[in-house]
Structure formats: structure tokens, C-alpha cells
Structure 1
Amino acid sequence: MQNWVYGGEDYLKRMLHLTAGEEAPKHRRRVRRCSGVTPDEVINATAQEYSVSPEEYCGFRSGTGGRDVAAYLCRRYTSATLAELSIRFGLRHPDSSSDMVKRVKKLIESKRQTLCILLPIC
């Protein structure tokens, strides 16, 4: 199996720790609202892990490493709306950040399916 996780092992462990307390979908919004994590904290941590500047994430079609991951994590673990994320990532349309989030969700699902094929514990 190819190494599909980008970033160091410590980064992966931090992200797995965040997801360990997964709540049911109907409670996710409440969890995000109560979270003390800000989008800037997530963006800065992700940029640091990918050895880039957070400012490199701004702009239309920026190919900077970790940008989509940062958007996904912000959406998942902060109270930021798609419109707020679009502004933060320098996008013109309020819902443009949803494409970044969708790409990561699709990647996660494809990797989950691969792991379930390889590991019979799924």
C-alpha cells in the first residue's frame, strides 16, 4: 500500500486524536460551535506541517500543499462557515471552499474503502 498520508507522524496522531471523539452527525454543528479551535490555528498548524506559509493558501487555485486539508479540518473542527473559509482562502464566491472540502472527503472515502479491502476489521 502506498504512503498516502502527507505530513509527519506527530501530525497524523494529532489529527487522529481530533477524530477519536467523533460525535453523531446531528451533534457535529454543536461540537464545532463549542470548539475552542479557530480556523487560523488549524491553517497555521497545517501550513507548518506542510512547510509552507499560511499566506500561500490564499488565492484562486493555489496548489500549495495542505490547502485542501486545512479547509477540510477547518470545516470539520471549527465553527467557520463555507463563506468565511472562502474569504480566508482568498476565494471570490462564498461557497468556493466547499470544493476543497469535497476533494478531501472523497480522498478519505477512497482510502477508507482501500483499507477495508486490505483489513478485514472494517
Structure 2
Amino acid sequence: MMRGKEQGGTTTLPSTVTASASAALPGRAEFGHDHFAYIDGQRMRVGATRTLRPLDGESGCAFRQRVDTLVHQLLACGTLEIDEEIRGGIVVQAIIRLHSPPEPAPIYDDHRLAGGRPAGARGRRGGS
């Protein structure tokens, strides 16, 4: 099921997507999070969310076509929803939500430091 929303700009995709590198590895103009559930004591991936923003110089139509192409590539993975955030009549971001069948998602060894600010640094002004 796909739906548009004039406020809220959120798109969710299943986190079990392996066919699309852009869904698994957010790039410069996208970011997101994965959804997990614990079923009978086992950690399972049950979906993902990706937020996409237009690229520099990309028209609203081209952006929507890019989102539509990605959605059609992911339809086999589960149920998709799309929210579009509209400001001043212009789409500023799309959020794709993917709800997928549960898939085992073990926690792998990761030596990178956790933490940081999801929204970036705060309290700094232009170049300081």
C-alpha cells in the first residue's frame, strides 16, 4: 500500500532488502533506520525506513520518478508506504517505509564507536 502525505515526509523500507544497495546503504541524499522485533527470543528484522531528499538541481518530477523507481524495485520485499513532505508546494523529502516478513538479524561484531548525533552537530553558527 502506498500513500502520500503533505506533511511528515517519511518513507519506510524493510531492512531485509539486499537487492538494492541504496536501500541497505544510505547515501549522500538519504538516511534511515531499520526495524527489529524479538520473536521467541530471536532478533528479527521486520522492516526499514529510508528518507530520501532531492539531489542538487533535481526537479520535483525527477525526484518523484526516482522514488517511484526505487519503490517498484522493492515491491517484492514487502508492503511499502510513502510519505512526502511538501513545503510551499514543493516536495522536500520522501520517506519510504518497508514492512517485510521477519528475517533473522544477528548482531555482528562491529568495532566502530557508537553514538554521535543523528541530526549532526548543534550549537555552531556559520563557520565557527
Superposed pair shares fold, TM > 0.5: no
Q: TM-score, normalised by structure 2?
A: 0.29
| Structure with the higher fraction of residues in helix conformation | 1
Q: Which has the larger radius of gyration?
A: 2
Structure showing the higher strand proportion among its residues = 2
If asked which structure has higher relative contact order (CA below 8 Å, sep 6+), I would say 2
